[in-house]
Amino acid sequence: MEEAIDKTSVEKDPSVLKEFWDDFSKNKGAVGGLALILVFILIAVFAPLLAPHSPSEIFGDALRVGPNWSDNGKAGFFFGTDDVGRDILSRLIYGARVSMSVGFMVVFVAMLIGVNLGLVSGYFGGWIDRVIMRCTDILMSLPSILLAIVVVAILGPGLNNTVLAVAVVAVPSFVRIVRASVIAEKNKQYVMASQTFGASSLRIMYFEILPNCLAPLIVQGTLGFSDGILNAAALGFLGLGAQPPTPEWGTMLSDARAFIESSPWMVTLPGLCILFSVLGFNLFGDGLRDALDPRLKK
C-alpha cells in the first residue's frame, strides 16, 4: 500500500532532473553534442590505455608514414606518423587530455573570477558596479584572440599561460551573466526574508542568490568550454600556446603546415578533433540553454 502511494506521488511530481532530461532529450543535436563530449572525455581519461604508443615516442624508421588505408601506410600507425616519426593517433588521443583539461581549467578560472566579481557588482551596485562593468566593457571591446595574444605577449608562451590568457578573455561574459541574474534576484521576497532575519551580505550572496543563478551559469560554462578549446588551439597554432612536443591539437596543426602538400593527413586530423570537440560543447550548450531556460524556447 505504502509503495503504491509513493509511486503515484513520484509520477505526479517528476524530479527536476527528469523534467530537465525530458526537455533536453527532445533536442537531437544536444544529445549528439553530449555524446561527442563524453567520447572526448573518455578518450582523455583513458588515454594511456587507448593510445598504441607514447605521444612522444620517436620512430626513426617511420617518418611521415601515411594513414593505414593509404598507399604508404605502415602497420601499427593507424593515422600515420608526423615529421619526426611520432604516432599521430597516440598524439591525438593525448591531445584530448590537453584540450579537455585546458577547457576545464579555463572555465574554472574564469568562473572563479567572474562569479565573484558579478556577485559583488550586482549585489552592491553603486561605484563598485560601475568600475567592474567598465572594465568588462573594455575587455569585451577587444577582439578575443587579440586580448589573449596580449596576455601571452606579457607572460610568455606556454600551456599554463595559455590557460590564463584564454580565461582572462572569458571572464567578462561570466561577470555579466551573474550580475544580470543577481540584479533580477536580489529584490525577490526570499532575499528580503533572509535580510530581515539578519543574514550577512556574504551569506545572502553565496547561499541565497547564487544557487538561483546557476542555470545561465551552467550554460555559459559549457559554451566557455568550446571558446576555451578553440582559443587555446588558435594560440597553439600561432606558436604562442602549448610548445612542442606537447601533443596539443593546435600546435600539431602548426607543425603540420609545412608538410601540407606531401602529408595532408597531418593537417586534417588534428583540425577535425578541434572541430568536433568545439561542436560538441556548442551543441550541448545550446541544448542546455533551451532546456533550462523556458523563456528562450521557440
Cβ atoms within 10 A of the Cβ of 249, count? 27
CA distance 88 to 56: 10
Single-letter amino acid, residue 7: K
Based on the shown chain and the rule CB under 8 A, indicate whether residue 144 belongs to the binding site for another protein.
yes
Question: Least separation, in Å, of the C-beta of 138 and another protein?
Answer: 4
Task: Give me 219's grid cell.
Answer: 550554460
Interaction of residue 154 with another protein, rule CB under 8 A: yes
**Nearer CB in complex with another protein: 45/142:** 142
Binding another protein by CB under 8 A: which of 282, 287, 288, 289?
Answer: 282
Sketch the per residue contact string, 4 through 43, with another protein: x for CB under 8 A, - otherwise. Answer: -------------------------x--------------
In whole angstroms, the minimum distance from the beta carbon of 282 to another protein comes to 5
- Please, where are the H alpha helices in 72-158? 88-124, 126-141, 144-155
* Position 189, amino acid: Q
Distance, in Å, from the CA atom of 233 to the CA atom of 147, rounded to the nearest integer, reads: 15
Q: Which helix (H) or strand (E) holds 32?
A: helix 28-45
Cβ closer to another protein: 192 or 272?
272
Place of cell 609545412: 258
Task: Tell me which of 257, 258, 293, 296 binds another protein, using CB under 8 A.
Answer: 257
Give the type of residue at 205: M
Q: Is 258 in the site for another protein (CB under 8 A)?
A: no
Considering only 19-27, 201-209, 265-273, 289-297, which stretch makes contact with another protein by CB under 8 A?
265-273
* Dihedral angle sign, alpha carbons of residues 257, 252, 103, 138: negative
For 8, counting Cβ atoms within 10 Å of its Cβ (0-12 exposed, 13-18 middle, 19+ buried), the class is exposed
C-beta closer to another protein: residue 75 or 146? 146
Give me the residues that bind another protein (CB under 8 A), please. Answer: 29, 134-135, 137-138, 141-146, 149-150, 152-156, 226, 230, 233-234, 237-240, 250, 253, 256-257, 260-261, 264, 267-268, 270-271, 274-275, 278-279, 282-283, 286, 298
